[in-house]
Amino acid sequence: MRFLFKTDYEDDIRLFPHSGYIVSYGVLLAFLLVAPFVLSSYLVSQLVFVCIYATVGVGLMILTGFTGQASLGHAAFLAIGAYTAGYLQQYNVPFPIYFLAGGLLTAVVGALVGFPALRLQGIYLVIATISFAFIVEEVLARWESVTHGNEGMRVKTLSLFGQAVPQNGPTFYFLCLGVLILVIVGTLNLLRSPTGRAFVAIRDSETAARSMGVNVSLYKVKSFAISAGITGLAGVLFAHKLSFISPEMFTLQLSIEFIIVILIGGTFSLHGAVLGAIFLVMIDPFLTYLKDDLPGIISGLAAMFGADSATAGKVNANVAAIASANGLKGAIYGVIIVLFVLFEPLGLYGRWLKIKLFFQLFPLYKRATFKRQKIYVKSERNR
Amino acid sequence: MLDFVQQLVSGIALGCVYGLIALGFVLVYKATEVVNFAQGDLMMLGGFFAFTFIGMLGLNYWLGFAGAVICMAAFGMLAERVVVRPILGYPQFSIIMATIGLGYFLRSVVGMIWGTDDFKIETPFSDGVLRIGSLVLAYDKLSVIAATVILCALLYLFFNRTTLGTAMRASSENMLAAYYMGIPVKRVVSIVWAISAAVATAAGVLLAPITFIHSNVGLVLGLKAFPAAVLGGFGSIPGAVVGGVLIGVIESMAGFYLPQGWKDIAPYLVLLVVLLLKPEGLFGVHTRKKV
């Protein structure tokens, strides 16, 4: 392990605390840059989705993880970004302009949502954001002159500087990766700035932040706007990746998936957003893989424990029936969410930190290091 | 005018169902500060239990109703024990997520067991109508309203006249203090979940003749019941029912008098306006902040 001696504030807020970070992230970046030439096109396409989900995850992390404002309406922000792209593209607006316009418009809408949200907390805020998402969904379905209503909207192939960028090619992947990296670096810098410090102060205690002179309302609105803006940028990429958008795609379900991203990754760090996105996107191919192979594996196990071939065949058929049942994915989602909340509230990144700390402190590791304090008195209503 | 009364009654009937689901939210919230996003799904599951007893096993309607309520009360306790108790006392966000996960799970499992078709429960008052002059009121809608009134009265008596009810109010005020005074808080919380699941089941069974039951009905109605609970002020039992009725009436009126599309968003628009003007809801108690 390496001891870091922080002697001043600059040391504390450095982007890369020590050279090890540069090496490991460099290796990761090298892998990601080689990926489209090595991996199958299906996996590259999944990686694009990881980038998009991670971008949304970073946006949501700013709001939920760092400012402490829950939102179940981020699908609406994604939709606004996506529809801005689709609409402006019809008028041959170049990509960089409508990309930024999508982000900007979503940020403005986010700020408008942030104002009413100022007076709301906890569950009220969650319901208000859900309501907002429903209203956006309905507007998208009804405003047919712009959105083509429920028929949906075709999104043309992206063209960048006169070059077509097909959504399955490596260039589009690099574009998404670039956006993700820019957003992450931007967010890291934001978190080092006074604005980011104010966000974290609001999350930890609104009253304390206010008494330290933080303009709570201003920063909450800022947080909403930044978070929505980033989600809008992801929305533009999302529209291009799917090349078709319709209101049914931006439902509460999608908002919940974004929350799952940050919850499973860990709601306190940007690593969490990326890990959660990887987890959420990769669970689909993993389930398909299980569906194909699980019956064989289980009947093989049964045969190993002395079942005759008829029983093994029956087991195989039963497992196959369960594995291909409709809605299995939802059940597994549900179980995963519950298990993470119950047993790993810090998410995947928290698990990694625990493992790292265990080895760093090896003989002296205390099991209760990351344990949260329970509060049994009426906290929310009196806080 | 006739149309108006007709819409009003069906709005109130629908609103009573929302109110009953919202009542479940409020009971659990009051006792434990847990917001149960799976409440609608508990309602859906209750409806399916009742369908199994009445439609598939051919039991008497009332017997099947009672059976479903008892099964769901047990299920509510189980859900509390497995999902909620370990995380009681943690920030609200984790509990919301856990109940969302529970809801996901219930929806998918019900879809896997019973399929994704629409089901209908035959009730004794399915077809009859009450005629007052030229006003036609369906019995199933009236039955929903009557049942809501009876349930609310029972709950009111339970909370204000029985020892257990008093214990529940005590643990909802301050869990730790109630525990120190000798109230078995864990058991009380279990019972609260059982009651809220039972109320949800009643809502599900009453609803079945009006909108049918399928595996997603819980999500749809649960999301309508949220505005109801928030409108009434989360944590107020009369508020939940009044909020539910308001939402039902608004929805029904918007569906009749406003262009298409308004029906689905009118409740949420009203909710946003109310939250803007009165963030603690219509019946909510404004508590002072402790620093």
pLDDT exceeds cutoff 50 at B291? no
Return the percentage of chain A with pLDDT > 70, whole number: 96
Residue A18 carries which side chain, given as an amino acid letter?
H
From B208, B8, B109, B29, select the one nearest A126 (Cα to Cα).
B29
CB pairs under 8 A between A and B: 156
**Phi/psi of residue A222, nearest 5 degrees:** -60, -45
Model pLDDT for residues B85-138, shown as the tens digit of each residue: 888 878 777 888 889 899 989 988 888 888 777 877 777 766 677 777 777 777
Q: In chain A, what residues touch B174 (CB-CB under 8 Å)?
A: 377-378
Whole-number Å distance between alpha carbons of B157 and B149: 12
**Residue A277 pLDDT more than 60?**
yes
User: CB–CB of A120/B275 below 8 Å?
Assistant: yes
Cβ–Cβ gap A374/B88 under 8 Å: yes
Query: Across the strands, what pairs with A153?
Result: A245
State the nearest Cα–Cα gap between B250 and chain A, in angstroms. Answer: 15
Name chain A contacts of B287, Cβ cutoff 8 Å. 381-382
Contacts B40 to A, Cβ<8 Å: none
Radius of gyration, CA atoms only, chain A = 23
ipTM for the predicted complex comes to: 0.84
Sign of the Cα pseudo-torsion (A12, A13, A19, A23, in order): positive
Q: In which region does residue B118 sit, left (phi positive, over 0), alpha (psi from -120 to 50) or beta (all else)?
A: beta
Of A155 and B283, the structure prediction assigns the larger pLDDT to: A155
Six-digit token pair at B92?
């609200």
Nearest-CB residue to A341 (from B97, B111, B175): B97
Q: Give yes or no for a contact between A259 and A108, defined as CB atoms under 8 angstroms apart.
A: no
Least CB–CB distance from A326: residue in B116, B235, B272: B116
Q: Do B175 and A377 touch (CB under 8 A)?
A: yes
Cβ–Cβ of A116/B272 closer than 8 Å? yes
CB contact under 8 A, A329 and B35: no
Which chain B residue has the Cα nearest residue A65?
B93
Mutate to test the interface with B, among A127, A220, A339, A380 (most CBs of B within 10 A): A127
- Strand-pairing partners, residue A158, are A165
Please report residues of A whose CB lies closer than 8 A to that of B288.
Answer: 382
* Interface contact flag, B112 A337, Cβ < 8 Å: no
Q: Which chain B residues are closer than 8 Å to A141 by Cβ?
A: 261
Average pLDDT over residues A263-283: 89
- DSSP single-letter state for residue B214: -
Q: How far does the CA of residue A93 sit from the closest CA of chain B (Å)? A: 31
Q: Is the pLDDT of residue B280 over 80?
A: no
Of B87, B88, B174, the CB nearest to A377: B174
**Minimum distance, in Å, between the CA of residue B133 and any CA atom of chain A:** 39
Q: Which two tokens stand for residue A287?
A: 């389930």
Q: In this structure, what token pair is assigned to residue A380?
A: 């929310």
Best of B32, B100, B274 to mutate (most A CBs within 10 Å, chain A): B100
Of B101, B106, B234, the CB nearest to A123: B234
Query: Which A-chain residues 246-275 have CB contacts (< 8 A) with chain B?
Result: 252, 256, 259, 263, 267
A380 pLDDT exceeds 80? Answer: no
- Chain B residue closest to A128 (CA)? B272
Distance CA A159, CA A144 (A): 26
Dihedrals φ, ψ of A165, to 5°? -120, 95
Which residues in chain A (154-193) have CB-CB distances under 8 A to chain B? none
Q: Does residue A42 or residue B261 have the better pLDDT?
A: A42
| pLDDT number for residue A324 | 66
* Coil, helix or strand at residue B136: strand
| Cβ count near B51 (within 10 Å) | 22
Residues of A in contact with B108 (CB under 8 A): 327-331, 333-334
- Rounded CA-CA distance A311/A180 in Å is 51
Residues 191-230 (A) with a CB less than 8 A from some CB of B: 207
Euclidean distance between CA atoms A264 and A339, whole angstroms? 10
Sign for the pseudo-dihedral over CA of B120, B125, B129, B130: negative
Chain B within 8 Å of A112 (Cβ-Cβ)?
no
Give the pLDDT confidence score for residue A383 in this predicted structure: 43
pLDDT class for A224, splitting at 50, 70, 90? very high
Please judge whether B105 and A330 are an interchain contact, meaning their C-beta atoms are less than 8 angstroms apart: yes
Among the ranges given (A87-91, A172-176, A257-261, B209-213), the one the predictor scored with the smallest mean pLDDT:
B209-213
- Contact: B268, A135; criterion CB under 8 Å: yes
The per-residue pLDDT of chain B, averaged, comes to 83
Residues on chain A touching B181 (C-beta within 8 angstroms): none
Residues forming a β-bridge with A163: A160
Residue B246 pLDDT > 70:
yes
pLDDT of A381 > 60? The answer is no
Q: Tell me the CB-side half-sphere exposure of residue B161, using CA atoms within 13 A.
A: 6
Query: In chain A, which residue's Cα lies nearest the Cα of B100?
Result: A334
Neighbours of A130 (CB within 10 A): 21
Mean pLDDT over residues A289-312, rounded?
Answer: 75
Contacts of A119 in chain B (CB under 8 A): 275-276, 279
Cβ atoms A56, A258 nearer than 8 A = yes
Q: Which amino acid is residue B267, in one-letter code?
A: P
Sorted by sequence, the CB contacts under 8 Å of residue A73 that are 6+ apart come out as A113, A129, A130, A131, A132, A133, A136, A255
Residue B162 CA neighbour count, 13 Å, CB half: 9
The pLDDT score that the predictor gives to residue A382 is 46
Task: Determine whether the interchain pair B261/A141 forms a contact, defined as Cβ–Cβ distance below 8 Å.
Answer: yes
Contact A380 B33 (CB under 8 A): yes
Best probe of the A interface among B93, B283, B290, by most A CBs < 10 A, is B93
Give Cβ neighbours of residue A288 (< 8 Å, ≥ 6 apart).
none
Is A127 in the B-facing interface, judged by CB distances under 8 Å?
yes
Task: Say what the pLDDT of residue A36 is.
Answer: 86
Contact check, Cβ <8 Å, B105/A331: yes
**C-alpha atoms less than 13 angstroms from C-alpha of B6 in its C-beta half-sphere:** 13
**pLDDT at residue B141 tops 70:** yes
CA-based R_g, chain B, Å: 19
Q: Which of residues 353-372 of A touch B (CB under 8 A)?
A: 372
Is the per-residue pLDDT at B37 higher than 70? yes
Q: Using alpha carbons, list the distances in angstroms from residue B103 to A352, B38, B98, B265.
A: 29, 4, 9, 23
Cross-chain CB nearest to A337 (options B29, B98, B230)? B98
Distance, in Å, from the CA atom of B182 to the CA atom of B192, rounded to the nearest integer, reads: 18
3-state secondary structure chain A: CCCCCCCCHHHHCCCCCCHHHHHHHHHHHHHHHHHHHHCCHHHHHHHHHHHHHHHHHHHHHHHHHHCCCCCCCHHHHHHHHHHHHHHHHHCCCCHHHHHHHHHHHHHHHHHHHHHHHCCCCHHHHHHHHHHHHHHHHHHHHHCHHHHCHHHCEECCCEEECCEEECCCCHHHHHHHHHHHHHHHHHHHHHHHCHHHHHHHHHHHCHHHHHHCCCCHHHHHHHHHHHHHHHHHHHHHHHHHHHCEECHHHCCHHHHHHHHHHHHHHCCCCHHHHHHHHHHHHHHHHHHHHHHHHHHHHHHHHHHHCCCCHHHHHHHHHHHHHHHCCCCHHHHHHHHHHHHHHHHCCCHHHHHHHHHHHHHHCHHHCCCCCCCCCCCCCCHHHHC
